[in-house]
Amino acid sequence: MRKTLCIVLALLVLAIQAPAFGEEAFRSAKAMGNFSEGYAAFSDENDQWGYIDRQGNVVIAPAWNLADCFIGGVARVGTADHLYGYINTAGQVIFPTVCSAASDFHDGLATVAVDGEYGFIQTDGSYAFDGRWADAGYFSDGLAYVQIGGQYGFIDATGSVVIAPQWDRTYSFSEGYAAVEKDGLWGFIDTSGNVVIAPQYEDGVLFSDGLAPATKEGLSGYIDPTGNEVVPLQYERCSYVYQGRAWVKLNGMYRMIDKTGAQVGSSEWRNVFSDFGWTNLTRVNSDNLWGYVNTENETVLNPVYEKATRFSDGLAAVRKDGAWYLIDETGVDVLSGENTQTME
């Protein structure tokens, strides 16, 4: 998105007003997104997405084919043509749906691709600086990766190149380190561009809680920033570590482990989400139904839901018998007072 848009990117006063329907639109929603900053995206019977508040009221009417979480008062929305833009919590378009790619906001900036060129915008929809690149990632630790001449390096928040392009691919920085690829193998660099772990892994992702998943010969485990293998590479899949907990897949089932690799609790699950980065309960799946466990892998809400979003400020949306409910951490629907765990 390395071209200057030939459109005015001033705040558009196109506000999508919510129609005169409320809770029933939430109850019958076709799909729900996660709550963030007091709002959650939902889709209606026409697969159009809008937003509800924490009382189940429609606050932004369905008008898009895609809608993401609000971050910093701004959310990404998309059209049927797979073009993306951004709105604010009033439903006003702050950046038009002309982007072939668009990221969430990180460090107050989002990455957008327009006409094949990548740039960075601020939450008011204006470009942060003039630079445009062939590819770019989001800002983290004050740096963002960009592609120059077919190789990847990093820029700072002024758009200046601070780590020269020399890598075949890279991920964004996390906890001071970024995964980089050279000749098909992945390692890690620090924010000065120094190689701290030489490329040797089949994939590279992010550090969280001081550990990063790493894969060799198709098996995954965890390494620390020195390259020490803290949890042996023996699993089919590994999630990020949050709150000292991670999900690992072995023999087709997911189990919870701590940062030493010790299993937490005895329960194993068919599928899971890694929600501990946002909340103290995470979603687990048994027999195609969803429930919630805590950081000790203890079941807090039994798997009785057809669909479930992650908790945000003590509230989640769940679907049971075709209807959606806004539940607290005891399973009680806050709109009706009904206990969704025991209802028939």
Q: What is the dihedral of CA 315, 284, 209, 191, to 10 degrees?
A: -90
Q: Examine the pLDDT at 2 and tell me if it is beyond 80.
A: no
Class of domain 1-127: mainly beta
* pLDDT digits 0-9 by tens, 71-105: 999 999 999 999 999 999 999 999 999 999 999 99
CATH number attached to the domain at 133-201: 2.40.128.630
CB-based contact 273:290 (threshold 8 Å): no
* pLDDT digits 0-9 by tens, 145-188: 999 999 999 999 999 999 999 999 999 999 999 999 999 999 99
DSSP 263: B
Buried b vs exposed e over 243-281: b needs ≥16 C-beta within 10 Å?
Answer: bebbbbbeeeebbbbebeeeebeebbbeebbbbbebbeb
Tokens for 293?
């466990």
Residue 191, CA distances (Å) to 20, 125, 176, 240 in order: 51, 28, 6, 21
214 SS3 class:
strand
Q: For residues 227 and 162, what is the distance between their CA atoms, to the nearest angstrom?
A: 24
The residue count for the chain: 344
* pLDDT digits 0-9 by tens, 294-340: 999 999 999 999 999 999 989 999 999 999 999 999 999 999 999 99
Angle of CA points 194, 198, 201, to nearest 5°: 135
Tokens for 332?
């009680």
* pLDDT digits 0-9 by tens, 4-19: 333 223 333 333 343 3
Average pLDDT, the chain: 93
Residue 197, CA distances (Å) to 131, 167, 176, 183, 193 in order: 30, 14, 13, 15, 12
- 125 Cβ contact partners less than 8 Å away, ≥ 6 residues apart: 9, 10, 11, 86, 94, 95
pLDDT at site 204: 85
* pLDDT digits 0-9 by tens, 220-262: 999 999 999 999 999 999 999 999 999 999 999 999 999 999 9
Task: Kindly list the domain boundaries of the chain, sorted by start residue.
Answer: 1-127, 133-201
> With bands split at pLDDT 50, 70 and 90, how would you rate the model's confidence at 24?
confident
DSSP-assigned letters across all residues of 46-86: TS-EEEEETTS-EEEEEEESEE---BTTEEEEE-TTS-EEE
Q: Examine the pLDDT at 133 and tell me if it is beyond 60.
A: yes
Q: What is the average per-residue pLDDT within 118-125?
A: 96
Please compute, for residue 342, the number of CA atoms within 13 A of its CA located in the half-sphere on the CB side: 5
Q: Is 38 left (phi over 0), alpha (psi -120 to 50) or beta?
A: left
pLDDT at site 4: 31
Beta bridge partners of 46: none
The end-to-end CA distance of the chain, in Å, is 52
- The answer to whether domain 1-127 and domain 133-201 are alike in fold is yes
- 131 Cβ contact partners less than 8 Å away, ≥ 6 residues apart: 2, 119, 120, 146, 155, 159
Matching residue, tokens 């019977």: 45
